[in-house]
Amino acid sequence: MIISKTPYRISLFGGGSDYPEWYLKNGGTVISSTINKYIYISCRELPPYFEHKHRIVYSIVEEVKKVDEIEHKVVKYAIKNFLKKQKLNLGFEIHYDGDFPSRTGMGSSSSFVVGLLNVLNNFFHKKVSKKTLANQSIYLEQNILKEIVGSQDQIATSFGGFNEITFSKNGHYKINPLLTQKKDLETLENNLILVFVGIRKNLSTANDIARTFVKKLRTQKKKEIFEIINHAKIAKEFIKSKNFDDIGLLLNETWKIKRNLSSSVSNSKLDDIYQFGINSGATGGKLLGAGGSGFFLFYVPSEKKKIFLKKFKNFITIPFKFEKNGSKIIFNDHAYRSTKNKY
């Protein structure tokens, strides 16, 4: 069995400029960090004496005889691709567990892809770099599955850390670590609070938000995205100079732009929660991910944190720390042999 541990991420600034529909024409910049909440994926070869060939366990349990019968698209295409390359017909058992619900703006879909490809690469004894893992994940989501997703999440969860990620028009990207000192990381994370708003969007809604957003990127929202990119560049300077309190004010300005990118990003209930956060001591914040549900990230100066948490006692608030590592293998007792008659 092999088990991968892949962090979730929080995207602070520049979100939207990491869509290839944007950065291949204009370039892009995002600031994000992985956090100490994780997706765990285990993988083992399923012995041939079961009635089913593959067993996939997530929110449901799939037991099928053929790869093409697997309903989970990511798992199906990932297994299919690896088996085709190896010219093998093995059976797999794959289990998924996560610290957060899916489709709540924490980058869970990309964390899942990264973690899955990590275990499959290791299953076949392929040691791949962080960059290769990120590139494989981007290719699977964007080119094979044709999902409307950006590129920052796959990179963030493959590399780990608190980084600026810049995208060039030629499709290349660079990772620039912004915060590495423990003291600085602790200072910033002590002023950030995750609030679960308890409104999960279904998959079709999430796709609709992304589709509408990308469509507007091509037509009418260029000015706003350039402003969001500029905010990322300003935030970089705040971070380098340790002016962390300015981050909260800048988050507030970024949220004002983001919520107007699409009518699906926010709603009256979410607007009320955000305003309640500001009235409770936060200087700024944003809804993570594409929008419509999930988690608010609030910047709350440390002297106001106690009051904020008291006022938000009826919400689920999640403490977290920044995570310096990307996806990694935490258990591996697998001795893969490509012979047909193992048993």
pLDDT of residue 226: 92
Average pLDDT over the chain, rounded to whole? 91
Q: What is the mean pLDDT of residues 15-42?
A: 96
The pLDDT > 70 percentage for the chain reads: 92
Confidence of residue 88 (pLDDT cuts 50, 70, 90): confident
Helix (H) or strand (E) run with residue 115 in it = helix 108-123
DSSP assignment of 173-225:
EEEEEEE--HHHHHHHHTTEEEEE---PPPHHHHHHHHHHHHHHHTTT-HHHH
Contact between 95 and 39 (Cβ < 8 Å): no
Q: Is residue 205 pLDDT above 60, yes or no? A: no
Contact 284, 162 (CB under 8 A): no
42-53 average pLDDT score: 94
Do 178 and 31 form a contact (C-beta atoms < 8 A)?
A: yes
Q: pLDDT digit string (tens) for 296-317?
A: 999 999 999 999 999 999 999 9
Specify the pLDDT at position 341. Answer: 44
Q: How far apart are CA 102 and CA 236, in angstroms?
A: 29
Better pLDDT: 200 or 38: 38
Q: Are strands 54-57 and 173-179 parallel, antiparallel or unpaired?
A: unpaired
Please report the pLDDT score of residue 86 as a whole number: 83
Give percent of the chain above pLDDT 90: 79
- More reliable by pLDDT, 114 or 261: 114
pLDDT at 343: 44
Tell which residue, 313, 323, 276, has the closest CA to residue 107.
323
Q: Is the pLDDT of residue 60 over 70?
A: yes
pLDDT in tens, 121-147: 999 999 899 999 999 999 999 999 999
Q: Give exposure, 312-324, as e/b (b: 16+ Cβ within 10 Å).
A: beebeeeebebbb
Over residues 215-221, the mean pLDDT reads: 68
Mean pLDDT over residues 86-102, rounded? 92
Task: For the chain, give the number of residues.
Answer: 343
pLDDT of residue 218: 67
Q: What is the pLDDT of residue 260?
A: 84
What confidence tens digit (pLDDT) does each residue in 157-203 have?
999 999 999 999 999 999 999 999 999 999 999 999 999 997 655 55
* pLDDT (0 to 100) of residue 219: 66
